Structure 1
Amino acid sequence: MIPVLGLTGQKIAVLGLGRSGLATARALRAGGAEAICWDDNAAARERAEEEGFTCLKLTRQGAFDDIATLIVSPGIPHLYPAPNPVVAAALSAGVPVDNDISLFFRSFATRDWDNFETMPKVVAVTGSNGKSTTSALIHHVLDHSGRRTQLAGNIGRGVLDIDPAEDGDVVVLELSSYQTELARSLTPDIAVFTNLSPDHLDRHGGLGGYFAAKRRLFAEGGPDRAVIGVDEAEGSFLANQLSMGPSDDRVLRISVDQKLSGPGWNVFAKKGFLSEYRKGRQAGSIDLRNIKGLPGAHNHQNACAAYAVCRSLGLAPRVIEQAFHSFGGLPHRSQIIAETGGVTFVNDSKATNVDAAQKALGAFKRIRWICGGLEKEGGLGDLANHAGEVVKAYVIGREAANFAMQLTGVDAEVCSTMDVAVAKAVQDAQDGEVVLLAPAAASFDQYDSFEKRGEDFIQLVQNHTKR
């Protein structure tokens, strides 16, 4: 646990008592503050009370009279589409609103660091797609190389739930836009921007607000080094804003769409080969084509980002390459779950938006595509134009028929449920084909989460392939 520093003796309100909220309350108490907690869910309040925390409804009259700060869990809106009533009450009372990410950055460094030979580092990864895989890959490479490392944030443990730093530690944080948009303190040593595509637009008031939330990690944080994906206009703009000139190697540009040149520090992947160029000369390369845990161009982008971070931390290209080969990938992200009868089954349930699904479709050949779910704002766009390798689509979800109608030019069958879709795809699949779950939609019409959706797919595939 990371005890929260600088709030001793103060009353701090904590809104939301899920994984991060309860960890925040514990860390506040460990640092000498008093946590006043609230969650609309009675079971969550009961868990907190069992640990000795006081739970008080924070919308009652005078609730913020003696509160120094309100700490808000990431899923709770504070501005768009409308502030949560508790947040609105804090704003009205003039009480600062913050989150656990900010508390972490304010509390991670301690006087113990004065005795370390190598200062601990914090790597923070954000972006629309690939941030989980990129974070896990960085963590894996560091662990493989013998560096002590911890993985936290939007993946792994809560940021305040990790262990205090030891000499030479590297903490890798995956940070969502929900986490970066509110944190008052953001001071990573290395910050990563993978890419940007429309997502969570209602929460951020549009694409500009969404990009602004991501950009705060760099503008507010002032990292010593920034790794920026430049395949979208926003990334290219961000890299330009952070750089002092073409040779400024504090900014590492990465790409899977173009060969990057110039006197700066660049990492790109073309046709399955990763290349590192520095000061106009090649400094390293990796053949990514046979690395099973990193299939497709979208994972090659993740590899470029992880490679750039690990090179910034002093690791040799050969060490990074060796670690890449032992990386097994993450559950629900281009996860190969079975290979039988010449058919490969891939679970990419995390492809909850159109851009992620496009990337998954580009990673495989001859695809039996299971898709559909709760359609996100903005519709399916030109998703059908990226379905050239799709032999047939099997559409699930409550509005499967409407979803299927938007897949113009694609042979699509309305299945509605996962069990029907898997059964038909298994029956139809032929040698050399891939049965791919890449929904291009949220899961909440039929499942509690994308994880539950992926687990259902895995179980159904296992039931059919064992017959």
Structure 2
Amino acid sequence: MIPVRGYEGRRVGVLGLGRSGLAAARALAAGGAVPVCWDDGEAARKAAEAEGFEIADLTKDRACEGMDALITSPGIPHLYPAPHPAIVTAQAHGAVIDNDIGLFFRSFATEDWESFDRPPRVVCVTGSNGKSTTTALIDHLLRTAGHDVQMGGNIGRGVLDLEPARDGMIVVLELSSYQIELSRALSPDVAVFLNLSPDHLDRHGGMGGYFAAKRRLFAEGGPERSIIGVDEVEGRFLAAQLREEAENGDPVIRISSGQKLQGAGWSVFARKGFLAEWRKGRQVASIDLRAMPALPGAHNHQNACAAYAVCRSLGLAPRAIEAGMASYPGLPHRCQIVGDVDGVRYVNDSKATNADAAEQALKAFERIRWIAGGRAKEGGIASLLPLMDRVEKTYLIGEAAEAFAAQLGDHPHIIAGTLAEALAAAHADAQPSETVLLAPACASFDQFPSFEARGEAFEALVAGLKT
């Protein structure tokens, strides 16, 4: 646990008592603050009360009197589409609004660092798609090379549940736009911007607000090194802006999947299955990504470029990075190969909860039996229709099945209804060398409590095919 600094003896509200909220309450108490907790769910309130925390309805004026700050969980709206009533009340009483990320950055560095031979470093990864894979890959590469590493944020442990800094430690954090937007303190040493596609627009008031939230990590965080994906206009704008603002060194490493990057700066890009690092107009290293089974497809090649650039920034040699990539096992539910039955490959990409993520999965394979559907997001799968030449047949499930069927038109498809029925039909149709791909392009909440539960159900069904 990282004790929170700066609130000794002061009342601090904690809104939302899930993983990050409870960790924040514990860390505040460890630092001498007096946490006052609230959650809209009774079960969460009882769990916090059982740990000895004060429970008070923070939507009421009385509970917010004399409160210095309100720490809110990332899933709770603070601005759009409307702020939570507790946030409105806290602001009316003069409390500042922050989150666990802000508390982490104000508390991680301590006086003990003066005795360290090597200062700890913090790497932050953000983007619409690929954050978790990139974060986990960086963690794996650094561990494989012998570094002392912790991983947390939007993956693994909550940031305040991490261990205090040690000499030479590297902390790798996955950060969502929700977490970045509200954090009052941001000071990464290395920051990564992967990509941007429409998502969470109701929380950010549109694409401009969404990009502005991501941009805070760089514009206000001031990292020593920024690694920027430049395959979209927002990334190109951000990379150019950060280069112009820097006075010396190589503050920006541009990354891309699918194009060779020009110019004399530092760049890492992947083309035709090969990763290349260029500096000062010449190539300095290359890795064959086709030999990395846990990193299939162009989207994973972008993730590999980002992780490579981070590790090079932290002093790893190209060959050490290549060896780490070869042993990377991949993350569950993200283009994860979960079986091979009679020459048919089965791939779990349950994390593909929107069309952009599903697009990357479809581009990673050919001769696909595609399982799609669930609770649809705006636009459905219209943007994926140009990729149907890669798909032999589509098997539709969940609430979106009929709407997706209408969008597919004459493309071969069936409405299977459930995941079990879809897999059974795909298995019966599949021929050797084909891929049965779960990439739903939908949220899971119509039939499953989470994308993880959906992916686990798929894996269990595939395991049954083997017996």
Q: Does 1:423 align with 2:409?
A: no
2:221 aligned residue: 221
**Equivalences for 1:33-52 in 2 at 5 Å?**
33-52=33-52
User: Does the alignment pair 1:138 with 2:138?
Assistant: yes
Q: Which stretch of the first structure deviates more once superposed, 339-348 or 410-419?
A: 410-419
- Write the distance in 2 (CA, Å) between the matches of 1:187 and 1:173: 12
- Counterpart-to-counterpart distance in 2, 1:409 and 1:148: 54
- Structure 1 segment 277-296 matched on structure 2, within 5 A: 277-296=278-297
Structure 1 CA distance, aligned partners of 2:304 and 2:406? 35
1:157-190 residue CA offsets vs partner (Å, 9 max, x unmatched): 0000011111100000000111011001010000
Answering whether residue 202 of structure 2 is matched by residue 198 of structure 1, we say: no
The whole-number CA distance in structure 1 between the counterparts of 2:236 and 2:372 is 31
Corresponding residue of 1:178? 178
Is the aligned partner of 1:78 residue 2:78? yes
CA contact (8 A) 1:253 1:267 kept: yes
Distance 2:45 2:93 in 1: 24
CA distance in 2, matches of 1:182, 1:270: 37
Residue 326 in 1 paired to residue 327 in 2? yes
Residue aligning to 2:306: 305
Deviations 1:56-106 (A, max 9, x none): 111123221111000000110111111111112122223211100000000
Which one is further off, 394-403 or 426-435?
394-403
Q: Report the AA paired with residue 439 of structure 2.
A: A
Quote the Cα distance in structure 2 between the aligned partners of 1:397 and 1:88: 37
Match of 1:104 in 2: 104
Query: What is the 5 A alignment of 1:385-464?
Result: 385-464=386-465
Query: How many angstroms does 1:355 deviate by?
Result: 0.7
The 1:33–1:360 alpha-carbon spacing in structure 2 relative to 1, beyond 3 Å, is same
Mark the CA change 1:409 to 1:110 in structure 2 (over 3 Å): closer, same or farther: farther
AA matched with 1:373: G
Give the structure 2 partner of residue 357 of structure 1.
Answer: 358
Q: 1:369: which partner in 2?
A: 370
Q: Separation in 2 of the partners of 1:218 and 1:408?
A: 44
* Larger relative helix fraction: 2
Q: Secondary structure of the residue that 2:290 maps to in structure 1?
A: coil
**Partner SS, residue 329 of structure 1:** coil
Contact preservation (8 Å) 1:383, 1:407: no
Separation in 1 of the partners of 2:340 and 2:290? 18
Distance verdict in 2 for CA 1:409–1:277, change over 3 Å: farther
- Is the Cα–Cα contact under 8 Å of residues 339 and 345 in structure 2 kept in the other structure? yes
Equivalent-residue separation in structure 2 for 1:11 and 1:142 (angstroms): 39
Query: Separation in 2 of the partners of 1:240 and 1:302?
Result: 21
Tell me how far 1:378 sits from its aligned partner: 3.6
For residue 319 of structure 1, what is the amino acid of its counterpart? A
- The whole-number CA distance in structure 1 between the counterparts of 2:240 and 2:158 is 32
1:409 positional shift: 4.7
Instruction: Determine helix, strand or coil for the equivalent of 1:387.
Output: helix
**Equivalent AA in structure 2 for residue 343 of structure 1:** V
Aligned mates of 1:161, 1:387 — CA distance in 2: 45
What is the identity, as a one-letter code, of the residue corresponding to 2:194?
Answer: T
CA distance in 2, matches of 1:409, 1:90: 55
Alignment partners' CA distance in 1, 2:113 and 2:106: 14
2:70 aligned partner, one-letter code: L
SS of alignment partner, residue 408 of structure 2: coil
Is 1:152 the counterpart of 2:152? The answer is yes
Mapped pair 1:212 → 2:241:
no
User: In the alignment, which residue of structure 2 is the partner of 1:5?
Assistant: 5
Amino acid at match of 1:109: A
Distance 1:427 1:311, change over 3 A: same
State the AA in 2 paired with 1:306.
A
Q: Secondary structure of the equivalent of 1:172?
A: strand
Mapped partners of 1:273, 1:399: distance in 2: 37
Counterpart-to-counterpart distance in 1, 2:449 and 2:87 = 26
Percent of residue pairs identical: 63
1:268 aligned partner: 269
| Residues 248 and 264 in structure 1, CA contact (< 8 A), matched pair in contact too | no
Shift of 1:245: 8.0
Instruction: Give distance in 2, aligned partners of 1:380 and 1:344.
Output: 23
Distance 2:365 2:383 in 1: 18
Give the letter for the 2:323 counterpart: Q
Deviates more, 1:454-463 or 1:340-349: 454-463
**Partner SS, residue 340 of structure 2:** strand
**Structure 1 residue 284, shift from structure 2 partner:** 0.9
Structure 1 position 384 matched with structure 2 position 385: yes
Change over 3 Å in CA distance of 1:354–1:108 after alignment to 2: same
Range that drifts further, 39-48 or 102-111: 39-48
Deviation string, structure 1 residues 113-138 (Cα, Å, up to 9, x no partner): 10111110000000000010000000
Counterpart residue number, 1:26: 26
Provide the TM-score with structure 2 as the length reference.
Answer: 0.98
Give the letter for the 1:94 counterpart: G
Query: What's the secondary structure of 2:364's corresponding residue?
Result: coil
Query: Post-superposition shift, 1:408?
Result: 3.9
User: Partners of 1:14 and 1:124 in 2: how far apart?
Assistant: 24
**Distance between the aligned counterparts of 1:85 and 1:398, measured in 2?**
32
Residues 250/56 of structure 1: CA separation in 2 closer, same or farther (3 Å cut): same
What's the offset of the Cα at 1:465?
Answer: 2.5
Alpha carbons of 1:426 and 1:75: their partners in 2 closer, same or farther (altered >3 Å)? Answer: same
Q: Which residue of 2 aligns with 1:167?
A: 167
Name which of structure 1's ranges 288-297 and 401-410 shifts more when overlaid on structure 2.
401-410
* Cα distance change of structure 1 residues 219 and 409 upon mapping to structure 2, 3 Å threshold: farther
- Separation (CA, whole Å) in 2 of partners of 1:146 and 1:152: 19
Q: Which amino acid aligns with 1:310?
A: C
- Distance in 1 of aligned mates of 2:249 and 2:434: 46
Corresponding position: 1:251 with 2:252: yes
* Aligned residues of 2:370 and 2:394 also touching (Cα < 8 A): yes
What is the identity, as a one-letter code, of the residue corresponding to 2:11?
A: K
Question: Which runs of 5 or more structure 1 residues have no equivalent in the other structure?
Answer: none
Counterpart residue type for residue 408 of structure 2: L
| Greater mean alpha carbon deviation, residues 289-298 or residues 58-67 | 58-67
What letter matches 2:73 in structure 1?
S
Structure 1 window deviating more from structure 2 (400-409 vs 311-320): it is 400-409
Deviates more, 1:90-99 or 1:68-77: 90-99
How far residue 215 of structure 1 moved from its aligned partner, in angstroms, is: 0.7
SS in 2 for 1:286: strand
